[in-house]
Chain A
Amino acid sequence: MKTSRFLLALGLLAALVSNPARAQNSNVILIQNATILTVTHGNIERGSILIRDGKIADVGTDVKAPEGATVIDATGQFVMPGIIDCHSHIAVDGSVNEGGPSVSSMARIPDVLNPDDIDIYRDLAGGVTTANILHGSANSIGGQTVVIKLRWGKPAADLPFQGAMPGIKFALGENPKRSGFTPPPGVPQRYPVTRLGVEETIRQAFTEAREYKKEWDDYDRRKAAGEPNLIPPRRNVTLDPLVEVLEGKRYVHAHCYRADEILMLLRVAKEFGFKVRTFQHVLEGYKIADELAAAGVGASTFSDWWAYKMEAYDAIPYNATLMTERGVVVSINSDDAEEATHLNQEAAKSMKYGGLSSNDALKLVTLNPAIQLGIDNRVGSIDVGKDADLAIYNHDPLSVYAVVQKMLIDGQVYFDRQRDIALRPALEKEKQELLDKEKKAAEPEKKSEEKPAAKPERKKKPGKPDAGETGTAEGGAL
Chain B
Amino acid sequence: MGLMLNRAPFFVFLSVIVAAACVMWSGRARGEGGEPPYFAITNARIIPVSGPPIESGTVVVAKGLIQAVGTNVAIPPEAWVVDGKGLTVYPGLIDAGTNIGLQQEGGEAQAPAAGGRGARRAAPAGPIARGPEDRPATTPWRVAADEFKPDDKRIESWRNAGFTTVLSAPEGGIFPGQGSVVDLAGERAGDFVVKPAATLQVSFRPAGGFFGFPDSLMGTIAYVRQVLDDASWYAQSESIYLANPAKNQRIPYDRAERVVSEALANKEIVVLPANNSVQILRALRLADEWKISAALFGGQQGYAVADAVAAKRMPVIVSLKWPERPKDVDPEAEQSLRDLRFRDRAPGTPAAFAKAGVKFAFSSDGLSGPKDILKNVKKALDAGLAPDAALRAFTKDAAEILGVSEQLGAVEPGKIANLVVTDGDIFNEKTKVKDVFVDGRFFEIHPEAAPEKPPHGGGEPKPMRADEAQAGALSSGVSR
- Whether B229 contacts A237 by the Cβ 8 Å rule is yes
Answer whether A474 and B370 are a contact pair too, CB < 8 Å, given A104-B219, A188-B128, A467-B458: yes
Asked whether any CB of chain A lies closer than 8 Å to the CB of B400, the reply is no
Provide the A361-375 mask, 1 if CB < 8 A to any CB of B, else 0. Answer: 000000000000000
- Complex Cα distance, B217 from A143, in Å, reads 12
Do A111 and B221 touch across chains, with their CB atoms under 8 A apart?
yes
Which of B172-180, B188-196, B403-411, B445-453 makes up part of the contact surface? B445-453
CB-contacts of B126-142 with A (<8 A): 128-132
Is A229 an interface residue when CB atoms closer than 8 A count as contact?
A: yes
- Complex Cα distance, B373 from A101, in Å, reads 42
Interface residues of A in 257-299 (CB under 8 A from B): none
- B325 on the A face (CB < 8 A): yes
Complex interface: chain B residues within 8 A of A413 (CB):
none
Q: How far is the CA of A98 from the CA of B247 in the complex (A)?
A: 41
Q: Nearest chain B CB to A250's CB is how many angstroms away?
A: 15
Within the complex, the shortest CB–CB distance from A469 to chain B, in Å, comes to: 5
Query: Which chain B residues lie closer than 8 Å to A468 at the CB level?
Result: 33, 453, 458-460
Q: Which residues of A contact B313 (CB under 8 A)?
A: none
**Any chain A CB within 8 A of the CB of B317?**
no
User: At the interface, yes or no: B74 with Cβ under 8 Å from chain A?
Assistant: no
Minimum C-beta distance from A65 to chain B (A): 36
Q: Is B462 within 8 A of A470, CB to CB?
A: yes
Chain A 230-245, CB-CB to B under 8 Å as 1, else 0, gives 1110111110000000
Mark the stretch among B53-61, B64-72, B236-244, B262-270 that contacts chain A: B236-244
In the complex, which of the residues A467, A471, A478 has the most CB atoms of chain B within 10 Å of its own CB atom? A478
Q: Which residues of chain A from 97 to 129 have a CB within 8 Å of any chain B CB?
A: 97-101, 103-104, 106-109, 111-112, 114-116
**Which residues in A have their C-beta under 8 angstroms from that of B229?**
234-235, 237
Contact B218 A431 (CB under 8 A): no
Interface size on A, residues (CB 8 A): 68
Residue tally, chain B, CB below 8 Å to A = 98
Task: Answer yes or no: A477 CB below 8 A from chain B CBs.
Answer: yes
The answer to whether the Cβ of B298 comes within 8 Å of any Cβ in the partner chain is no
Bound CA–CA A476/B433 (angstroms): 7
Tell me, yes or no, whether B216 is within 8 Å of chain A by CB. Answer: yes
Quick one: closest A residue to B285, CB to CB?
A157
Q: Point out the residues of chain B lying under 8 angstroms from A478, CB to CB.
A: 93, 161-163, 370, 373-374, 377, 426-427, 433
Q: Are A238 and B218 touching (Cβ within 8 A)? A: no
With both beta carbons as reference points, the residue of chain B lying nearest to A191 in the complex is identified as B130
Residues of B contacting A477 in the complex (Cβ-Cβ under 8 angstroms)? 161-162, 374, 420, 422, 424-429, 431-433
**Of all chain A residues, which has the CB nearest B334?**
A431
A477 to B33 CA separation, bound complex (whole angstroms): 23
Shortest 5 CB-CB contacts between residues of A and residues of B: A100-B213, A94-B217, A98-B219, A468-B459, A106-B222
Residues on B facing A (Cβ under 8 Å): 32-33, 93, 123-124, 128-132, 156-157, 159-163, 185, 206, 208, 210-219, 221-223, 225-226, 229-230, 233, 236-237, 240-241, 243-244, 247-249, 251, 276-279, 281-282, 285-286, 325, 335, 337-338, 340-341, 343-344, 369-371, 373-374, 377, 420, 422, 424-433, 441, 443-448, 450, 452-453, 455, 458-462
Question: Can you name 11 extra interface pairs (CB under 8 A) apart from A238-B132, A469-B443?
Answer: A92-B218, A98-B219, A99-B211, A106-B223, A107-B219, A231-B248, A465-B458, A469-B441, A476-B430, A476-B432, A477-B162
20 contacts between A and B (CB under 8 A): A94-B206, A98-B213, A98-B215, A101-B213, A106-B225, A111-B282, A115-B278, A135-B218, A187-B123, A229-B244, A229-B248, A434-B340, A467-B156, A471-B156, A471-B159, A472-B447, A473-B161, A473-B446, A477-B161, A478-B433
